[in-house]
Structure 1
Amino acid sequence: MFNLLKILSQLDFLSLSKLGRLGFAIHQNGINLMLLFTLTKITGNEKTALVDSHEVLSYRELQKRCEHLAYFLADRYGVGEKQKVAFYCKNHASLVQGIFASSRLGADLYLLNSSMSQLQFNKLVEEHRFDFLIYDDEFSGLIEKSPYRNPKICSYHEKYEAIATLPELSLHRKQKLKPSSSGKIILLTGGTTGKPKQVVHRPSLFNFLDPFAALLNRLQLPKYSTAYIATPIYHGYGIAVLLSFLALGKKVVIQESFDAERACALIQQHQAEVVTVVPLMIHKMLKHDKASLASLACIASGGAKLNPALVNEVNHQLGGVLYNLYGTSEAGLNIIAVPEDFKHHANTLGKLIAGGQMQVVVEGKEVEPGNIGQFCIRNKWSMKNNPSRWIQTGDIGYRDEKGYYFLCGRTDDLIISAGNNIYPLEIEVALTNHPSIEDVAVVGVEDVYSGQILKAFVQLYRDKSLTPSELSSWLSTHVAGFQIPREIVFVDHLPYTAVGKLDRKRIQTIKSNEIFNRGGI
């Protein structure tokens, strides 16, 4: 209740007239994403809501389009409660409109990874049997080759009916839409590197009070006016920050895909104070043009491990503006590190947010601070289709005596070499502290005698040179002997997934004489 009152106060909602407006909106429309427009009416509908590569929309225009689209989808295609609406789109205004309109109709929203393969999309169609599809034209060929045969509409198209052209159409509203609070948001995790797993979240204001309050207070979001969301909306982190910023009535800038040059230009053009990134993005932007990032007061990093070397680089180049958000698609946001926390340790994930519980567990038992185990999380805002009250994250780490959490790796990253349990992340962190190394990946390679041996793929800064023996000698003073890779391969680039995570499966397939010439973002 305290968080609710604090949030309503920050949204300037603590008056009988404004609370009455909120109650009336819930009575008329139900609890769905369209309720956010009731919140933003307080600060004025003419404010800019959304900027993408196609257009600029005010809150009034965005709400009108979302309402219009909701009527259109209900009237033309019969979209309604309990139906499965899939989104196969990159970041743009039509995707946002589709999400809000479908939520208003009570449909279940399936956010698909736009980087998936033909085989992966086919499997999703067969498994989930979507009732309706909103898609980008660039995926038309893939969709046509799939088993999908139900109705669909394109986001943008010059010739055919598309969401972007609907405001030009005349639509007769046969009847008023009934209130709906039944829709869910379903994230399909592991969309490019593994079998997607269904993660269900119900977009209830009350379920998400604690993480929303944490974003408002720890990141001080109400202070700022413009945010650039560089992360994909289909990712849990992307949709969460998008809805948070729209609830605050801020200007949100999005683009179909990330490009460091374009991102730097957008931040400078809009004087964005807030940007959401994965670590690789901020690394690339700093490398391209750090001067264009001068307006940033809050760099919210998430979705992948922050390297201490990058933390120090950001602090040196831009000052104390870096925040780290730790969460999973299944358990949502749970830990936040603020700039002050990185003074404690550049490698920390931060501290637990209010309302959640977290344990470090080994063989089903919680361990004492300082001991490594699996992170297990329990909260009100986690996935709703999990049979257990506690969610096993698959992340391995520890908590120190002061309540700071640290990540050591993933359970499936564990390398057993000559009887030693080794998590590659610890070695990677040590290697990236070398002044010549820009990026690194450590993997396990099968070995007859040791079970597995360590192999490091190392990306040097362009003006640096290093030999394997020099690097091994340097590393011997930073890690234990059994943690030194048996083989070191220098590469041009390392592969990343579309959401900025190191693609270890692709790395495993690389032969020693191969060089990476492409990145994921």
Structure 2
Amino acid sequence: MFQTFKKLYQANLTTPIGFYRLFASILHSKTNLMVLLEFAARTYPDRIAIVEGTEQISYKTLYQETQQLAAQLQKEYQFLAGQKVALLCKNHIPFVQSLFALSMLGIDVYLLNVAMNTDQFDFLIKKHAFNAIIHDRNGEKLILTSNFKATCIPTHSSTTGYSIRQLAKQEFPNRYHLKKSSAGKLIILTGGTTGNFKTAVRKPSVFNFLNPFFALLNQLNLGNYRSVYILTPLYHGFGVAALLISIILGVKIILSQHFKAISAGQKMRMHQVEVLVLVPIILQRLLQELQEDPNLFEYNKVILSGGAVLNPTLVQKASSLVPNQLANLYGTSEAGFCVMATSNDLVKFPTSIGKKIKGVSIKIQDNKQQELPFGTVGMLCVKSNWTMSNKTTQWIETGDLAYINSSGYCFLCGRVDDLVISGGVNVYPIELEHILLQHPAVWQAAVIGIPDAEYGQRLKAFVSLQTKSILSASELRIWLKGKISGPQTPKEIVFLEQIPVTSLGKIDKKKLS
């Protein structure tokens, strides 16, 4: 408790003036997300809040413009509490302003994936009947080929009406009464690799946000740092959580709409980035770039990886090249952030996702919903007061197979629908993937189950190679001998130029067959 209080004090959150600012922000902005931005503007007014490309904006200006945006959306578009507005954007300042302004008005905000296809988009339009969509150029392409006929507001420029940038810079008259509201719902898409997306609905609460915040503050010392580069999409739960935590800490947030390792490295040096927020595939590419640029991580102190499985080969490589920096955050759209492995945890258990954070309960259960003992593989279930249900009494089934050891560390064994039963033996494709990735010529690996007349199912491995590497299937089979059991032996090995991944960096197994 003392350490928590000390870290909060260092982050200006438990000083008398800090308490006053937070209390005043809650009174003024109610309990919507704008509380966090108002607190940051009161506490760190002149600090740079966001840098995106050649643009930058201070916390004071970000707050003022977001208030103006909320007023203009209410005045010009009659946005009211309870309406549904979708954000169809990549990472930039107008996205952030729109998110907070809509929350201030009590709007239900839908964070949409710009990489979805037209059929998926039309399905969401029909199902949710959005009152409006705020979009950038990436999202505009989807809208033009869709059936959406309601209000569309571009983020950056418009020849026919207002843009978010224009609205945010328009001062509203002092006599104008802005109708504020408690936060609406925050809806994040989940699934959608093939078929249609599901939605994870969460009622954002400043108070429910505190336990995940304390976990990061205590175990990773995030309050000590002043710059964070968010390289994961803000429309994903991991990205938006990183944004909110960064804002309450008053750090400089670097955003990019597109990722390229060379330009990312330039930004890391230019802004002396101390904290990276990314998915494993981006970490893999940055570590590869490190071979060309030894000073790439010169200022970096913490790497937060999440959104996809972090394989042990990548963990060991990061631990060697950038020691004591990597942490793995596990969560789902429905369950939120719930399990964390620090750099020390990953040194001891490279295959673990860590331990549950304070305020979370986890268990492993079988298909009859009976809790399983330590070391037994089953469905990972989570409950906390910041899950999709916002109920501490309701368990969320994550869809992930896992086990917990006697020390409380959790280990993933893949998705429930990834499980392969070969000759009556449970085989977990993730285990073969981890072994394949240990081969020095292998860049990526994915394993699926395929039908087999003799065993019922066998494994099929897909492999992509490191640049300039040469490896045959027979050579790889020889290398695997002694490293795997009989049921883990792949029936087929297929070499691909690149393993397909989703827009969030997860391997897209639905595209493999």
Normalised by the length of structure 2, the TM-score is 0.94
Amino acid at match of 2:240: I
Alignment of 1:96-115 (within 5 A): 96-115=96-115
Amino acid at match of 1:343: V
Contact 1:415/1:421 (<8 A) preserved? yes
Contact 2:21/2:43 (<8 A) preserved? no
Alignment partner of 1:337 is 2:341: yes
Indicate the residue corresponding to 2:366 in structure 1. 362
Indicate the residue corresponding to 2:165 in structure 1. 164
Contact 2:385/2:392 (<8 A) preserved? no
> SS of 2:512's equivalent?
helix
Cα shift at 1:113: 0.7
Whole-Å separation in 1 of the counterparts to 2:37 and 2:501: 36
Whole-Å separation in 2 of the counterparts to 1:168 and 1:470: 62
Contact 2:65/2:169 (<8 A) preserved? no
Indicate the residue corresponding to 2:19 in structure 1. 19
Whole-Å separation in 1 of the counterparts to 2:449 and 2:204: 40
After superposition, the C-alpha distances for 1:176-213 in whole angstroms (9 at most, x for unaligned) are 22331141211111244342111111221111211111
Alignment partner of 1:253 is 2:271: no
Amino acid at match of 2:500: P
> SS of 1:95's equivalent?
helix
Whole-Å separation in 1 of the counterparts to 2:480 and 2:326: 28
Indicate the residue corresponding to 1:288 in structure 2. 289
Indicate the residue corresponding to 2:140 in structure 1. 140
Cα shift at 1:227: 0.3
Cα shift at 1:303: 0.7
Whole-Å separation in 1 of the counterparts to 2:3 and 2:210: 6
Alignment partner of 1:418 is 2:423: yes
Indicate the residue corresponding to 1:117 in structure 2. 117
Indicate the residue corresponding to 2:494 in structure 1. 489
Whole-Å separation in 2 of the counterparts to 1:439 and 1:497: 14
Task: Give 5+ residue unaligned stretches, structure 2.
Answer: none
Distance 1:16 1:227, change over 3 A: closer
Contact 2:401/2:415 (<8 A) preserved? yes
Whole-Å separation in 2 of the counterparts to 1:312 and 1:4: 30
Identity, % of aligned positions? 40
Distance 1:3 1:143, change over 3 A: farther
Indicate the residue corresponding to 1:92 in structure 2. 92
Amino acid at match of 1:293: F
Amino acid at match of 1:22: L
After superposition, the C-alpha distances for 1:2-57 in whole angstroms (9 at most, x for unaligned) are 99967753442435554344333322321111111332245431110001125100
Indicate the residue corresponding to 2:352 in structure 1. 348
Q: 1:445 aligns with which of 440, 446, 450?
A: 450
Whole-Å separation in 2 of the counterparts to 1:108 and 1:469: 55
> SS of 2:435's equivalent?
helix
Indicate the residue corresponding to 1:375 in structure 2. 380
Indicate the residue corresponding to 1:404 in structure 2. 409
Alignment partner of 1:38 is 2:43: no
Alignment of 1:175-324 (within 5 A): 175-289=176-290, 290-291=293-294, 292-324=296-328
Amino acid at match of 1:357: S
Distance 1:388 1:354, change over 3 A: closer
After superposition, the C-alpha distances for 1:463-520 in whole angstroms (9 at most, x for unaligned) are 3322222222221311111111011112221111100000001122xxxxxxxxxxxx
Whole-Å separation in 1 of the counterparts to 2:443 and 2:122: 38
Whole-Å separation in 1 of the counterparts to 2:255 and 2:246: 12
Indicate the residue corresponding to 1:153 in structure 2. 153
Contact 2:85/2:133 (<8 A) preserved? yes
After superposition, the C-alpha distances for 1:253-283 in whole angstroms (9 at most, x for unaligned) are 0011222222111111111010011110011
Whole-Å separation in 1 of the counterparts to 2:20 and 2:437: 55
Whole-Å separation in 2 of the counterparts to 1:31 and 1:468: 58
Amino acid at match of 2:211: D
Distance 1:21 1:388, change over 3 A: closer
Over the aligned positions, Cα root-mean-square deviation in angstroms equals 2.1
Contact 2:123/2:196 (<8 A) preserved? no
Whole-Å separation in 2 of the counterparts to 1:8 and 1:459: 45
Contact 2:183/2:204 (<8 A) preserved? no
Whole-Å separation in 2 of the counterparts to 1:83 and 1:3: 42
Number of aligned residue pairs: 508
Contact 2:501/2:507 (<8 A) preserved? yes
Whole-Å separation in 2 of the counterparts to 1:83 and 1:385: 21
Indicate the residue corresponding to 1:514 in structure 2. none
